[in-house]
């Protein structure tokens, strides 16, 4: 189907001279400032959003993302002086986006990150050296427990203790969400998994293994402290960097289902209309978005809304699964149409190998203005399979 789409006359691989493959954009540029605050499988690179927003919208416009994910569109819109709102069914994804987009008291954030880091390091030292009196509490350190089968299975005892201690301290601070993101990122890295498969590990690793990444035998990870330390400083650096780049444009993160959400209930946008959409819906049968962050759901007790996901990998790619996916996507855009201006521009980034988006456009009363083609050259997963995306440019009739 991609080959059929490629033969269309209105398909292009460039926007205003920019090659959409972004072959010359280095990895650290693709993950600049808060875009790398927490790993997220399936997000698009910020340069893609930036190019389209720059070309088709202007400062002061209102941009909507009904499949917000980790908030890439919202961040890029803000940097260009455009107001934005994102809708996401996953509570944890909303935490990531809220943490990325929040404007911080940087002095307070730094003090709190350092303070909880110091306390956790002291506790980690006690785990190794033996029991001794705390310097900042009246009682002694003690071993901590969790009822989570997942955490008990996927973490070494030392890593679990460090993570649970940090978690128990979070409520003492103002920047709770920021600290949760640091801990979640550290928990992800501290699991008993191979160094080369953080995205979709199948089973915990407890024995020495041949590491494809390092080309030598490696030991399973036995601590979380080194990751907590690393991500504490990395997080601080990233929020400071974005603070120097952000504008006064509004950002709104909304936890909800885009099929049914009513923006009239959102006070910031009551009676308002959006100039356009830039989004990347789920791909049919590719990712289970809640499952990829299972460690965070277990750690913080967030509600699992995976039964509301559109096109999850667990549903497969059967004919019935594709029909259910198509119905879900149509419902989203038909609902969002109520909040779009006439002639609003809609950009949808998707791997449409089943060629279903032309039908979706028709059902949603969209005119296909152009279809862009983007080969995906740099992927975070250990997968050499060729992969490409289409960026549909629709216009609301």
pLDDT single digits (tens) 359-394: 999 999 999 999 999 887 655 445 555 678 999 999
**Stretch (H or E) spanning 19:** strand 18-19
Asked if 292 contacts 92 with a C-beta cutoff of 8 angstroms, the reply is no
Q: What is the pLDDT of residue 270?
A: 62
* Backbone region of residue 131 per phi and psi (left: phi > 0; alpha: psi in -120 to 50; beta: other values): beta
Whether 54 has a pLDDT exceeding 70, the answer reads yes
Q: What was the pLDDT predicted at 311?
A: 92
How far is 93 from 242, CA to CA, in rounded Å? 19
Let me know: does 201 contact 238? Beta carbons within 8 Å: no
Q: What is the mean pLDDT of residues 93-99?
A: 97
- The mean of the pLDDT values for the chain is 90
* pLDDT the model gives residue 4: 44
Nearest to 92 by CA among 171, 158, 162, 177: 177
In this predicted structure, what is the pLDDT of residue 265?
Answer: 72
Q: Residue 51 pLDDT > 90, yes or no?
A: yes
- Worst-scoring range by mean pLDDT, 176-180, 209-213, 259-263? 209-213
Give the pLDDT band of residue 6 (cuts 50, 70, 90): very low
Using a pLDDT cut of 90, give the percent of the chain over it. Answer: 71
Q: In what helix (H) or strand (E) does residue 50 lie, and over which residues does it extend?
A: helix 46-56
- Output the six-digit token pair for 277: 């959409």
Distance CA 365, CA 338 (A): 12
pLDDT at position 310:
95
Percent of the chain with pLDDT over 70: 90
Pairwise pLDDT comparison (151 vs 199), residue with the higher score: 151
* pLDDT tier for residue 5 given thresholds of 50, 70 and 90: very low
Domains of the chain plus CATH, in order, are: 2-103+247-396 (3.40.50.150), 106-241 (no CATH)
pLDDT of residue 8: 47
- Tens digit of each residue's pLDDT (9 = 90 or more) over 298-336: 999 999 999 999 999 999 999 999 999 999 999 999 999
Q: How many beta carbons lie within 10 A of that of residue 136, not counting itself?
A: 8
Average pLDDT over residues 89-110: 97
The mean pLDDT of 324-352, rounded to a whole number, is: 96
Average pLDDT for 158-179:
98
Q: What is the pLDDT of residues 243-302, one digit of tens each?
A: 999 999 999 999 999 999 988 777 676 667 899 999 999 989 888 889 999 999 999 999
């Amino acid at each position: 189907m991609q080959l059929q789409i490629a033969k269309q006359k209105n398909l292009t691989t460039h926007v205003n001279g920019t090659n959409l493959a972004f072959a010359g954009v280095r990895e650290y540029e693709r993950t600049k400032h808060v875009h790398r605050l927490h790993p997220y499988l399936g997000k698009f690179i910020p340069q893609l959003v930036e190019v389209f927003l720059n070309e088709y919208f202007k400062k002061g416009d209102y941009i909507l993302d009904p499949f917000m994910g980790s908030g890439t569109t919202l961040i890029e819109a803000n940097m260009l002086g455009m107001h934005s709102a994102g809708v996401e069914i996953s509570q944890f994804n909303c935490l990531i986006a809220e943490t990325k987009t929040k404007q911080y008291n940087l002095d307070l954030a730094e003090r709190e990150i350092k303070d909880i880091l110091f306390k956790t390091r002291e506790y980690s030292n006690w785990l190794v050296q033996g029991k001794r009196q705390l310097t900042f509490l009246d009682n002694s350190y003690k071993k901590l427990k969790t009822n989570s089968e997942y955490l008990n299975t996927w973490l070494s005892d030392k890593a679990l203790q460090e993570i649970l201690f940090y978690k128990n301290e979070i409520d003492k601070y103002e920047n709770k969400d920021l600290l949760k993101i640091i801990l979640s990122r550290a928990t992800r890295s501290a699991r008993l998994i191979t160094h080369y498969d953080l995205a979709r590990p199948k089973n915990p690793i407890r024995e020495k293994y041949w590491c494809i990444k390092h080309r030598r035998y490696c030991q399973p990870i036995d601590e979380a402290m080194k990751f907590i330390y690393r991500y504490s400083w990395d997080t601080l650096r990233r929020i400071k960097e974005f603070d120097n780049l952000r504008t006064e444009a509004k950002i709104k993160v909304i936890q909800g289902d885009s099929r049914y959400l009513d923006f009239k209930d959102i006070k910031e946008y009551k009676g308002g209309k959006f100039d356009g959409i830039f989004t990347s819906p789920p791909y049919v049968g590719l990712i289970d978005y809640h499952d990829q962050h299972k460690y965070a759901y277990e750690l913080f007790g967030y509600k699992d809304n995976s039964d509301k996901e559109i096109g999850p990998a667990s549903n497969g790619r059967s004919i019935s699964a594709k029909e259910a996916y198509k119905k879900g996507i149509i419902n989203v855009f038909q609902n969002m149409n109520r909040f779009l201006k006439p002639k609003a521009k809609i950009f949808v980034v998707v791997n449409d190998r089943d060629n279903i988006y032309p039908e979706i456009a028709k059902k949603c009363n969209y005119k296909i203005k152009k279809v862009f083609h983007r080969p995906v050259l740099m992927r975070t997963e250990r997968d050499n399979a060729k992969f490409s995306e289409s960026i549909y440019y629709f216009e609301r009739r």
